[in-house]
Structure 1
Amino acid sequence: MALTDLYDRASSLLERRFLKNAFLPVAVFPVILSWPILIQSGRLDRLAAWWESLSTAGRIVLGLAYFVVTWFFAAIVASQWRNIIRLFEGYPIERTPLGQRSADWHRRRRTEATQWQHYLEYPDEDEVLPTRLGNILRTAERYPFARYNADTIVIWPRLYHLLPESVQRDVEDRRATLEFLLVTCLFWAAFGVADFIILSVTGAAPWVACLCLLVGAVGATLAYESSLSAAMEYGERIKAGFELHRGQLLAALGLKTPGSLEEEKRMWRAFDKFVRQARPADMEQYRRTSAPPTGGA
């Protein structure tokens, strides 16, 4: 594939991901947030009348200003996708009393889980995180190490470039879906809390404030529950990508085809030491003595 084709595909993917996961939620959020407040205060009609009084040029200027501001804040949200995922994984509270109690609860559930649930949702006992989402993603991240002694942090950035285009696209689509659901969950939670506080402070009817809080809680819960399935699907793509294409990575690294599973584990351990500790001696015994066949291993 030509470099221009790769650039065009990457650009279109990033553009779709940005528009869906950042720009759209940021653009819609102020409208949803302000709607109950305007209705309750009786200012919605005045706002509509003010908008009708504007000239066409004024509406265009305001529309462009809203677009620019929305794009700016959407760019901030897009830059924080990884931190948003880590937030829902439970890393910020991992070492707090709340996080430890939550992790202990998941450890107790882990002892009652089926073998299939262990495969999908639970890492080793000493690696359990405070949230279900965190455990699902950590299980996928630890899969290559648990099966082959291959560290995902070291292996995945190198393996990704060898994956077929369709597999790369599938992985990115699954991750984009996960990001969208988590951003949606965060915004629904913000809507519920912010409207509850604003309506309570401004003297609105208590049932209206509580209704907004309830709607926000339900929306956030539904989005989070949906993100769990999306995380499992994303994790499965990572596991399958490594399982099916790790031989290509070994060939691209100039290493021989392992003769057994135990030898492959030793090879990945040696490569990890080579990357992390600059110890090439451990890899010498696994170097390929002849050129690999066309098409990789």
Structure 2
Amino acid sequence: MFSKLPDLFERNFAIGFFLPSIIFIVGNFWLLDSYDILPEIIKIEPSSQKEIEIIFRIALIVLFAWLQSIFILAANRDIIRFIEGYGGKLNPLSIFKKREEVKLKNLNKRIKILDDKYKECLDKKVKFSFDNERNKLLYIRATRYPEENFLLPTSFGNIVRAFERYSAKVYGLDAIPGWYRILTVVPEHYRDLVENAKSQVDFWVNTSFLNCVFLIEYFIVISTKKDPLNIYFSLFLIAIIIFAYQRAKSAAIIWGSFVKSIFDIFIPDLLRKLEFPLPASFEEEKLLWQQFSQMLIYHSLSSTMRRNYSFKNNKPDSNE
């Protein structure tokens, strides 16, 4: 869920985009210098260069990193969607779709067994001894998997898809088109909390993605120079990629918790902002948001939808 682009000189931009970029640029300079293909104008040699030359070259590195940060900021949505597994068969990560399907199937199978045991214990009025396991598996399914027909090829993508599906499952409001509407009633300080959580995701996603690019560059350089492959260095890069990807999944769960809380807390404010009649029950409200979601997606207005244009009865008393 995206709300706004971070400013180019603020904390979230520095954490999510500039820091991974500076590490990537420094790594590239080291790689090119190691194989004597780094241009002389950006080489740093303290023993033979004047101080002003060293400062100039360091400034170039920072400039390159800043420009790359802007580029990956602009491509942020596409990078995240690529790692989520969007793109069908054109995305190489689509090969993991079957694995995710099997994992969810096995999870649902185990939960079904535990649910049956739980009901059996209730009927017999005996203690259910698998409470911890059942609760843990239910939490994993809720935070890491959407419904089966919304499953994506990667575990990261399914974590994001799981919290994107939350508002539709609970309230009936589709999160993708609904997000831009609900942001109009979310206070700035709460939006900042969401952006801070997303900056952690951006950092780990960009670190994993840029290290993949760096690994490919390394293979290209050694093949061009016809040098032997450094197995330990390659394994080191692969370990960083995997570690960053795992951390991105953990950060995405926290980001998702903030996104879900926005719908929990501010959906009544959106109801009033849109001047819909206050529903008589939760079921009636869910139907209203389902119809509203269909209107946003398909541009078709339900005959049962209506607005309370008088709305005076729903406004707070001025004396309050």
TM-score (norm 2): 0.77
Q: Distance in 1 between matches of 2:6 and 2:180?
A: 19
Equivalence for 1:5? none
* Residue 123 (structure 1) aligned with residue 164 (structure 2): no
Q: Distance in 2 between matches of 1:111 and 1:98?
A: 23
Equivalence for 1:217? 238
Equivalence for 2:30? 35
Select 1:77's aligned residue among 64, 72, 76: 72
Equivalence for 1:186? 209
Is the contact made by 1:256 and 1:287 (CA closer than 8 Å) also made in structure 2? no
Equivalence for 1:264? 285
Give the 5 Å matches for 1:137-176: 137-176=160-199
Is the contact made by 1:27 and 1:70 (CA closer than 8 Å) also made in structure 2? yes
Q: Distance in 2 between matches of 1:99 and 1:57?
A: 46
* Residue 88 (structure 1) aligned with residue 83 (structure 2): yes
Q: Distance in 2 between matches of 1:66 and 1:237?
A: 35
Equivalence for 2:98? 104
Distance 1:249 1:288, change over 3 A: farther
Distance 1:100 1:219, change over 3 A: closer
Name the aligned partner's letter for residue 220 of structure 1: I
Q: Distance in 1 between matches of 2:94 and 2:226?
A: 39
Is the contact made by 2:6 and 2:12 (CA closer than 8 Å) also made in structure 1? no
More helix by share: 1
Q: Distance in 2 between matches of 1:186 and 1:236?
A: 24
Is the contact made by 2:201 and 2:251 (CA closer than 8 Å) also made in structure 1? yes
Aligned residue-pair number: 280
Equivalence for 1:4? none
List runs of 5+ in structure 1 lacking aligned partners: 1-9
Q: Distance in 2 between matches of 1:60 and 1:81?
A: 31
Select 1:66's aligned residue among 61, 79, 89: 61
- 68-77 vs 98-107, greater mean Cα deviation: 98-107
Select 1:57's aligned residue among 52, 57, 63: 52
List runs of 5+ in structure 2 lacking aligned partners: 108-136
Is the contact made by 1:267 and 1:286 (CA closer than 8 Å) also made in structure 2? no
Q: Distance in 2 between matches of 1:14 and 1:57?
A: 25
- 104-113 vs 64-73, greater mean Cα deviation: 64-73
Q: Distance in 2 between matches of 1:61 and 1:100?
A: 44
- 136-145 vs 52-61, greater mean Cα deviation: 52-61
Is the contact made by 1:196 and 1:213 (CA closer than 8 Å) also made in structure 2? no
Distance 1:205 1:285, change over 3 A: closer
Is the contact made by 1:193 and 1:216 (CA closer than 8 Å) also made in structure 2? no
Distance 1:260 1:133, change over 3 A: same
- 108-117 vs 124-133, greater mean Cα deviation: 108-117
Give, in angstroms, the shift of residue 63 of structure 1. 3.5
Name the aligned partner's letter for residue 284 of structure 1: R
Corresponding residue SS for 1:284: coil
* Residue 294 (structure 1) aligned with residue 288 (structure 2): no
> Sequence identity of aligned pairs in percent?
25
Corresponding residue SS for 1:112: helix
- Deviation string, structure 1 residues 111-163 (Cα, Å, up to 9, x no partner): 22232222111111111100001111111111111122211122111212322
Is the contact made by 1:148 and 1:264 (CA closer than 8 Å) also made in structure 2? yes
Q: Distance in 2 between matches of 1:81 and 1:96?
A: 19
